[in-house]
């Protein structure tokens, strides 16, 4: 009797382990600037580190600075479900950096 209860649970575990791992993806949208002449941009960046606003600030600032931009603000951190709604606003800065 105990084996008949254990079998369905074991089968569910095996099915779960057989599913391929799927990366969730983490993204941040931000505002940045360049001086002389003043240029501003809004962009979306895929994060490689922790998926938190605090961690995103350091990563986004570092990557932007390599291209001569200064981070003004990380607005939000979100998953892949938020990409499409931000794509048009980010324009050429959508996943650019």
What does the pLDDT look like over 18-48, one tens digit per residue? 333 334 699 999 999 999 999 999 999 999 9
Q: Give the span between the Cα atoms of 94 and 71, in whole angstroms.
A: 15
Write out pLDDT tens, residues 61-83.
999 999 999 999 999 999 999 99
Answer whether 0.75 is exceeded by the pTM.
no
> What pLDDT does 8 receive?
54
CB 42 within 8 A of CB 31: yes
Q: Give the span between the Cα atoms of 69 and 80, in whole angstroms.
A: 25
pLDDT band at 4 (very low <50, low <70, confident <90, very high): low
Domain spans in the chain, listed from the N-terminal domain onward:
23-93
Contacting residues for 86 by C-beta, under 8 A, at least 6 apart: 29, 44, 94
């Amino acid at each position: 009797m105990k084996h008949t209860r254990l079998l369905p649970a074991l089968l569910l575990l095996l099915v779960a382990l057989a599913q391929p791992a799927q990366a969730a993806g983490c993204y941040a949208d931000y505002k940045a600037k360049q001086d002389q002449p003043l240029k501003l941009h809004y962009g979306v960046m895929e994060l490689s580190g922790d998926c938190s606003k605090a961690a995103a600030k350091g990563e986004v600032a570092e990557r932007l600075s390599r291209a001569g931009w200064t981070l003004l603000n990380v607005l939000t951190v979100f998953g892949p479900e938020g990409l499409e709604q931000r794509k048009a606003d980010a324009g050429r800065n959508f996943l650019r950096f």
